[in-house]
Each structure stands twice: as C-alpha cells, then as structure tokens.
Structure 1
Amino acid sequence: MASPVTVLQIGEGNFLRGFVDWMLHVSREQGLFHGSVAVTQPRPSGKAKLEELAAQDGIYTLVIRGLEDGLPVERQSVVSIFSKVIDPYEEWNRFIDLAESDDLRFVISNTTEAGIAYKQEQLTESPIVSFPGKMAYLLYRRYLAFGGAADKGLIFLPCELLESNGDTLRDIVFRYSLDWGFPDDFRAWLSSSNRFLNTLVDRIVTGYPGEEVAQAWFSEWSYTDRLLTTAEPYHLWAIQGEETLDEQLPLQKAGLNVHWTNDLRPYQQRKVRILNAAHTWMAPLGILHGVEHVREIMEHQVLGQSVKSMVRFEIIPTLPYSADEMNAYADTVFERFNNPFIRHRLSDISMNSLSKFKVRLLPSLSHYADIGHQIPEGLVAGMAGLLRYYCIAQVDGQFEGRDYQGGTYVVRDDAESLTRIAEIWAKAEKNREDLQSTIKELLALTSVWGKDLSDWSGLADSICHWWAKAEGGDRG
C-alpha cells in the first residue's frame, strides 16, 4: 500500500532532490518516516522536469561524492520518496485536492529567492501563478474543508536562500488573503494553526555529472537515469522550531545534520562570516593570480595557507561563539573547498563582490577598527585584493581589469558603483595621483561600504604596503 502524502513539495529541481528528499529517504530507510511526498513545480517552465519524474515513477538516483575526514567517498542511493507528481498548471483541481488531505502536514519549497515575492494577482478559476498565492488559496480551501479545525494547519519549511524566509512567506500569504477578500476567521486560523518556520540550508548539489561519468555509472548499474544527480557529503538544515517537531519529521533522529533551534543567527553568522567570507576573500585574489577554481586556491602554495590562517586567527576571534565550535566548522568548510568533484569557478563567486564584501568581510575588519586595533594582515590582503581587482576601466560597455600576468577579466557588479570606481581610477591616472590618495578616495565611498573607511587608522597605509609587495612580485 502506498505511503500517505504527508509532505507537499514545491520545487522539482536538483537541490531539493539532493537535499530534503534524500533526507526523507534516509529516514524512511531506518523505519522512522512513514509518509511520502507530492511534488509539483513552482513555474510552468518546470513542466519538462516534472514529466521526466512522472515517467520514472518519481524514482531517481543520487550519488554523494567528496571528502569525509580527508578521505574520498562515493555513495549511491535510489530515492523513491515521491508518490504523486502534479503539474498545477495543467492539473489544478488535483493540486487543490491536496488541501482536503487529512494526512498532509508539511510544505517544503525551493522556488529561489524570487519565488517568495509578492506580485499582484487576480483570483480566478485559472491556476494561480505565484507560489505564495497558491499557498494562500490552498490554505483557504483547507480551512473550508476542515471547518477551521485547529489541528489541520500546515507547517511550512521554505528552503529558499532568504533570511527570515518563513516570516516573509507568511506575510505574503496574508497579503493575498486580504487581496482576495478571505474572511477574518480564516486569517485568525492562518495565524494560530499554521507554522511558517525560518530555515537555513547548506549543501552543494552539483546536479547531473559529465556524460562520460554518467555513462560509466549506467554501465555499472545496468540502468539509465536521466534524473541522476550528485551532491557533496556535507549537509546542514537548521530550522527555527522546537525539537519536538523531529517526532513528526524524524530527520535528526535519523542521524542527519538537522538542527531544531530557537535562534538561527549562529548558523547564519558562521556561514556568512566563515564560508561565504572565505569565498569572497579568495575570488578577487585568485583571479589576479590566474587561478580559476576554489580547489586550486586551496592547493596554491601561498593563498591556500593564507585563507586558512585568515579564517582561524583573524575572523573566528571576532565571532561571539565557542572558538572550538567555529574551528570545527572551519574544518568542514576547508574540506568542502577541497572536494575534487566540485569545480566552483572564482569568476562566478566574484560577481557582486562589493556588496558581498560589505556583508561577509567588512564586519570582521570593523571589529578591529572599533576596538582601536591594527587590522590583521590577512583581512588587509582581502580588502587590498578587492580594490586591486576593481582597478578597472570601461571598455565597450563593460568594466575590465588586468591580472598580474597582464590578462584581462570582466568585473560584474552594480553599474553605478563600477562607473564611480572606474572614474576614480581614470582621474588618478590622468592626474598622476599617488596610490595612497586613490586608495583613500575609494575607502571613502560610503555608497559602497555603508561608512567612510578612509579614516581607519593605518588601513590605507597597510593596503598600499600590500599593493607594492604584490605588484613587485611578492604576493605572499
């Protein structure tokens, strides 16, 4: 007998299949999770993938490969957690029928950050386009079906990479309920009987591998799977909710790296200030050195050790958490960066580096400036490398810089900021300004940094010292 549908999943893509669905599969294999998933796509463009899932009866293969404790691992799972595959744009009534399911308990989504957004929409007999709009109507129909029963609300677990993703989704669902004139009693039930939990997800799901690798596996397995996907071993799901919820969705009990917590900030901060900060530090410096991928940075004789030292001895001391816990987390980050199966391009990471630096690295620099200490050399190198990477000129409608070997690269960022920075460099060249004056002018751009950094004691001098060494060939 088919397992009851206890989870509605909005999102048919690689990430959820390599993350949440795999977790549910692991839990079910241990006899802990007894439900199944109804999967649907958030946009009409997902039709083709959904049809592929339906053609394979919702079954697909996941291969987890990478490093664990420094050793290579490769594990294959055949995941069969989907019991229903529904296209809401062609099977609207079948989708809405889920509202009347006594078994349904959770809604999990990954619609990208753009999916949790309000767009004015009319309520008609046609399928609702937006994800929050669909949820507002689904919940209204559920309210009607069960007479507003307090125990028939749903728990929403959005996986979109958006801070306060649950709160944001809840607010937009409420807005649609007002737009469409749903009764006040429904909104009271929506507030009291439904949960929209904020979550943080972390796993790199690399999708379908290269064709040569895929065909080798197909030969080994004696079957073909066009929905094959791959992922790294590391996974984290932090959910802002009480630990007793694991009884309903037994993931932590299954030994998975799932944390029910009353505060997501430690998980968010360590990810932003360690993992994301390391990415933002290495991207400009790596490109200047002619390095293309994250793993090459880790193997670089100078940059690899520099990024590790910067994280351990300069960033972690600025965080209000246990140093042992943060260093253990840093160990997992560096192991992930060394994954031989992930080719993470620095050119992709470098996009919008100005805003990323402001959020990810500037708080660590500010920590030292605020207490009157000299900013440590690793963080100085990050700021100096960023400014050197943004030593740009406008060429044929795009902004180009030159690496240490004389090769060109294109910088992608906010057009207004790039224009202003290019003007500063052009003026400096025309007037033959000294480097320190130019650096101070760049540091004074409050529109970029959110504050004036030009008066931070010793920062401009330290950047110029680093710059002279780097341009002279000493890039340690």
Structure 2
Amino acid sequence: MTTSKTQPLLRPHLTSENERRQHEVIRQQPLKILQIGDGNFLRGFVDWMIHEMNASGKYHGSVVLTPATPRGAHRLEKMANQEGLYTLLQQGLQHGKKVEQRQLISVFCDYVNPYGEWERFLQLAELESLDVIVSNTTESGLTYVELDYVPGEPIVNFPARLAVFLHRRFETFGADPKRGLMILPCELVENNGDLLKTYVLRYARAFGFGDDFCEWVEQHQLFLNNLVDRIVTGMPEPGEYARLTNSWGYEDQFLTSAEPYYIWVIQGDSSFDRRLPLVRSGLHVKWVPDLAPYRQRKVHILNGAHTLMMPVGLLYGKSTVRQLMEDEQLGNWVKQSIADEVIPSLGLPPEELQRYADETFERFYNPYLEHRLLGIAMNSLSKWQARLLPVLKAYTAKQQQLPQQLVRSLSALLLLYKVEPVEQGEQLCFRSLTMDGQPLEIRDNTEWLQRLYSHWQQSGTSAGQDGQVDYERAVLQILSDTTIWQEDLTQIPGLAEQVTFNLNHMGAQWS
C-alpha cells in the first residue's frame, strides 16, 4: 500500500473534537500496559478493548508498543507519525444484517524498539504504574531455544526477553508481591500462559537469575491461559482502501479491518476484572476457572467446520468459505454435520454449543471476508487429527456407530491428498486434482506427502493418471500409516470399509 498524494495522513487534527479530546486524555494516562507485538490482530482485538475500557471510564491507562521481532521495528516510527491513532473498521453480519462501523482507536502513548533501545526497553520494567503485559508473537514466537545471555545485548527470543525484563523489575522492587504483573500471551497455543511461564523460568535458571527471582515469578506473576477469537484481516484490498480513505478524507497506514464477532476467554478469577475491567466495560469477555471447554468448542466447531468443509469444497470447485456455504447442498451439509455429529460429542450444554455454531455460520457468510479454502488447507493432515479425529472417536464410542459425515470429510481429504510430486525450479511441490481435473497445490508435511504419493502409487495410480484405483488397498495403507496419524486408524471398527465405500462413490455424493 502506498500513501495517497491527495489525502493527508491520519492526525488528531483530522478527527472530531470529541475524538481529539479522548486522544489527548489517553496521552496523559499512566502507562499501565506493555504490548509485545504490533500486528493486525492485537490492534483489532486487545487494543480496541483497551480503548473501550478507557472510553467507559472504568479504566485509566495507556500502552507502550514494542515489536515482536526486529522486522517490526520500522512500523514504530510510522505509528508515531500518526501519533498513535489508527482506524478500526468492523465489517460483517450481525443477526443477519450487514454491519460497517468505523472507530478511531487511541491507546498508545510510547513506542520502544528493544532491538535498538535495549536499556530503554528494560527501564519500562522499573515503572511503578506498569501492571499488564499482552503479547502476540505468533506460535513460532512462543518457543524455547538454547541461547547465551550477554548482559546489555538485546534478545530476540520472546520468553527469554521477558525473563530479562522481569528480572530488571525484580532488581528494582525486590520480591515485592505488589509489583507482580498480569501477563496475557495471546498466541494461539494451548495453555499459552502456562507454557510462557515454563519457558521464562527455564531461561531464568539458565541465565543464573537465582532461586529468589524464580520464586517471585512463580508466586506473584499472573501468567493467564487465554483463548482469543476474532477474525482480523488488517488492511483492505487496494480498491476498497481507496474507496474508504476517499470517503474519510485521510490515509491510514494502520487501517485494520475485523469482523464484528469477538470473544476473549481468560482462565482466572473473576475478581481480576477489578484490575483489568473488561467485563465491567461491557465487553464480551469471560473469566473462567477452566478454559478447556471453550477451547474445545472453538477447536471442534469453528476450526473443525473449516477442516470438515475444506477437502469437499476444493474437490468440487469452491474457492472460499462463503462460496461453499452459499451452495445450498454443501452449506446445509456443514451445518447438519456440526449439529448431528460434533455437538453431541462435546462436553458443554448442547443449547450453548448450538448458539455458538449459529454465530459461527453467520461469520462464514461474512460478505466482506474472502476466506480462501486453499489457505485453510495448509497442513490439513495434522488439523484433521487435532480438530475432527477426537470427535469421530468420541461419537463412535458414545453412539456405537461411525459419524457418517465426518467420515465423508476424511474420505474427501484422502482423495484430495492423492498427490504427485512436481518440481518447480529447485523446489519440490505436490499437486492434486479437483473432481473436474483442475490442478491444486497441496502444502503439508513433505515426508507425509511423499508417503501418501507412495501409497497411492502402490494402489494402482497417482494423481493425474488414468486407470483403475484399488481404493481398498490405498485406504488400508494410508489409515494404518502411524507416521502420519501417530496411530493405526484401521483399528477403528468399520472406518476403513466406510472410507473405501465413500471413495468408490465420491462422484455421486455431492453431485
């Protein structure tokens, strides 16, 4: 995106008098929140909530922004050029009606690049007002790697950087329990708070920070497991961006688009809301004693529906989630599969799960969102294992029969993964074909794709070849491959036979 020559860059003087007043108030608020990560998601989710808390009068605090990696450092200067202002555009469906709502968000009061301003970054730990840390460094950022600690040198690894930051706070305030922080890692990792705490303590011990520090971290830092749920797409397409900025009269290098739906579920005592008044500010946030049922709900209904529909949609020529859902037969199939087979297999009350499913389906129809099935398709073998295989097993154990629609999805996945290797320059890719012969590139674990190619070859054919396929042999070989599935799926009674039947009749099932 390039800045327009005709529209000025977003500045406070371009906003309304009320927005300017709110922005000036924010700049005077105590710095309470350290944000690690400057991406679209945090702007469209956490930062918007902080803005709403301040606007409600229930909270009085501002945010210091730091990038997750050195690559993000250049964006700090751009955000400072906009004086911390950016536009959030909420677009989608709510209760069947289109929603398009613009808000100017103001929460940032300072910007620190830890990779070029290491000491200034650590000095933030010395602030008495600091109370909360939020992060989104992606799943790849929440990792442990062996590294040497050299005092005075910046650290790229997020948990290691946090360990040094907390140690500076410990050096400043001693073991004062009142100086413990509430830490909310928003990375999409199960038990993200517990995992981050484990890594911080490992680095603390490796760096020789001492038992007293580790005990202080254990007892007085709140590492809270949490589950975030909102689709934040960020910058609109160029044509849409031009339409919006022309109507608003300003450019915004940080324009962020998000769907109206959101929920934040945090594993912690409801009394924490006095400290971070998300619920009291009217936001859709839940403080819960156990995050597992909510994670199960999201993984098996929202993510599970994506994984369920993807192979069928791609095989039958659909390119986006919305396009598939607007196909009456396929859309109804997805809804019925979730209602009849997924919801009965989960632990929350069925009425609550069905409400969540209905909200999910409305999100799938979002006319502003082009959620591509090929994007969902990446690494689908492991996704099917995590999202749908547990449901298949639970349903089978409970109902004493296979869930037919989940088995159809698995059958379609195997057919979609009837791949052949194709060299593209120096890179080895794997190609499959739709039901009408259109090529698709399949992106997944290379070893697994090679094994699948071998299984299909031994069963009479590979993708792109004509000839009779011994589906029974292919299914038995693929489902029993413990390298791919980590178990022998042919041990599930009747599964191999049903998948074989489906593959022999695939052309007629959704015709």
The interval holding the TM-score normalised by the smaller chain is over 0.9
Q: Does the Cα contact within 8 Å between 2:341 and 2:395 map onto a contact in 1?
A: no
Q: Does 2:419 align with 1:413?
A: no
Q: Distance between the aligned counterparts of 1:464 and 1:134, measured in 2?
A: 52
TM-score, length-scaled by structure 1: 0.96
Q: Which runs of 5+ in 2 are unaligned?
A: 1-24, 462-466
Q: Please, which moves more after superposition, 447-456 or 127-136? A: 447-456
Identity of aligned pairs, percent?
A: 43
SS of match in other structure, 1:225:
coil
Give the match for residue 317 of structure 1: 344
SS at match of 1:285: helix
* In structure 2, distance between residues paired with 1:131 and 1:15: 17
> Within the alignment, does 1:459 sit opposite 2:495 as a pair?
yes
2:64 corresponds to which residue?
38
Q: CA deviation at 1:35?
A: 0.6
In structure 2, the CA distance between the partners of 1:102 and 1:394, relative to structure 1 (3 Å rule), is: same
Alignment map for 1:186-205 (pairs within 5 Å):
186-205=213-232
In the alignment, which residue of structure 1 is the partner of 2:91? 65
Q: Which amino acid aligns with 2:498?
A: S
Aligned counterparts, 1:99-118, within 5 A: 99-118=125-144
Deviation, 1:204, is 0.8
Q: In the TM superposition, what is the alpha-carbon distance from 1:432 to its structure 2 partner?
A: 5.8
Paired residue for 2:261?
A: 234
Indicate the SS of the match to 1:39: strand
Asked if 2 retains the 8 angstrom alpha-carbon contact of 1:369 and 1:457, the reply is: no
Aligned to 1:173: 200
- 1:16 corresponds to which residue? 42
Mapped partners of 2:43, 2:471: distance in 1: 51
Please give the per-residue CA displacement for 1:76-135, whole angstroms capped at 9, x wherever unaligned. 111110111111122222211211111110000001112121231322212222222221
Distance (Å, rounded) in 2 between the aligned partners of 1:246 and 1:124: 36
Q: Which of 256, 272, 279 is the aligned partner of 1:245?
A: 272
Question: Structure 1 residue aligned with 2:470, among 415, 430, 434?
Answer: 434
Question: Structure 1, residues 153-187: CA drift from partner, whole Å, max 9, x if none?
Answer: 11100001111111111111112211222132222
Cα distance in structure 1, aligned partners of 2:357 and 2:293: 14
Q: In the aligned structure 1, how far is the partner of 2:395 from the partner of 2:232?
A: 36
- Shift of the alpha carbon at 1:372? 6.5
Aligned: 1:164 with 2:191:
yes
Deviates more, 1:382-391 or 1:394-403: 394-403
Cα drift, residue 217 of structure 1: 2.0
Unmatched 5+ stretches in structure 1 = none
1:360 maps to which residue?
387
1:287 aligned residue (286, 311, 314): 314
Deviations 1:36-77 (A, max 9, x none): 111111211001211111111111110111001111001111
Residues 307-358 of structure 1, C-alpha deviation per residue, up to 9 Å, x if partnerless?
0000011110011210000000001110111111111111111111111111
Does the aligned pair in 2 maintain the 1:10–1:108 contact within 8 Å? yes
Alignment correspondent of 2:11: none
Q: Which of 48, 51, 59 is matched with 1:25 structurally?
A: 51
Give secondary structure in 2 for the equivalent of 1:454. Answer: helix
TM-score by length of 2: 0.90
Say yes or no: does 1:75 pair with 2:101: yes
Q: Take 1:192 and 1:216, find their aligned partners in 2: how far apart are those partners?
A: 52
CA distance 1:29–1:282, shift in 2 (3 Å): same
- Secondary structure in 1 aligned to 2:190? coil
* Alignment check: 8 A CA contact 1:88 1:127 kept: yes
SS at match of 1:33: coil
Q: Is the 8 A contact 1:351 1:413 kept in 2?
A: yes
Aligned residue type for 1:313: D
CA RMSD of aligned residues (A): 1.6
Structure 2 counterpart of 1:374 = 401
Alignment partners' CA distance in 2, 1:69 and 1:138: 45
Q: How much does 1:290 deviate?
A: 0.9
Contact 1:109–1:160 (CA<8 Å) still a contact in 2?
yes
The more displaced of 393-402 and 27-36 is: 393-402
Match of 1:137 in 2: 164
CA contact (8 A) 2:227 2:264 kept: yes
Instruction: Letter of the 2:435 partner, please give it.
Output: Y
Q: How far apart are the structure 1 equivalents of 2:245 and 2:332?
A: 39
Deviation at 1:457, TM superposition (A): 3.2
Give the equivalent residue in structure 1 for 2:75. Answer: 49
Q: Measured at CA, do residues 133 and 459 of structure 1 come closer, stay the same or move farther in structure 2, by a change above 3 Å?
A: closer
Give the residue type in structure 2 aligned to 1:182.
F
Counterpart Cα distance in 1 of 2:229 and 2:103: 20
* Residue aligning to 1:278: 305
Deviation at 1:202, TM superposition (A): 0.9
Q: What is the aligned length?
A: 475
- 1:256: which partner in 2? 283
| Structure 2: distance between partners of 1:434 and 1:84 | 64
CA contact (8 A) 1:365 1:375 kept: yes
State whether structure 2 residue 367 is matched by structure 1 residue 332.
no
User: Alpha carbons of 1:224 and 1:369: their partners in 2 closer, same or farther (altered >3 Å)?
Assistant: same
* 1:443 aligned to which of 463, 472, 479: 479
* DSSP 3-state at the match of 1:457: coil
Kept in 2: contact 1:295–1:338 (CA 8 A) = yes
